[in-house]
Amino acid sequence: DVKVTQSSRYLVKRTGEKVFLECVQDMDHENMFWYRQDPGLGLRLIYFSYDVKMKEKGDIPEGYSVSREKKERFSLILESASTNQTSMYLCASRWNYGYTFGSGTRLTVV
């Protein structure tokens, strides 16, 4: 079975900290995505990557960066965490037609 693994289910960080959210897929997929999900706002695309070292901004990239040094790993970086980045973060990779999602990381910034 295909798998997308997000390193943490729950994370609590302090304002101003640099935060790394890790996502690993075992399917040799080229396309990977980071979303955040907030009540009433649905899924919003932060960044995506269509190959190693390639990245594209999504709808809400401000305050975030990404890294894709290896095909299987796509990292989301919060350069200086703020309370408005408290959210559920979802990573996904794309197979032929659809996405496989990770279980999500609920990040709280205090």
Minimum distance of other proteins from residue 89's CB (angstroms): 10
Compare residues 12 and 41 and give the one whose CB is closer to other proteins: 41
Compare residues 14 and 39 and give the one whose CB is closer to other proteins: 39
Q: Which residue, chain included where needed, has tokens 């289910």?
A: 9
- CA pair distance 87, 90, nearest whole angstrom: 10
Compare residues 71 and 101 and give the one whose CB is closer to other proteins: 101
State the residues that interact with other proteins by CB under 8 A: 4, 6, 30-31, 33, 40-43, 45, 48, 50, 59, 88, 90, 92, 94, 97-104, 106
Percentages of the chain per state (helix, strand, coil), in multiples of 5: 5, 55, 40
Minimum distance of other proteins from residue 74's CB (angstroms): 14
Minimum distance of other proteins from residue 2's CB (angstroms): 10
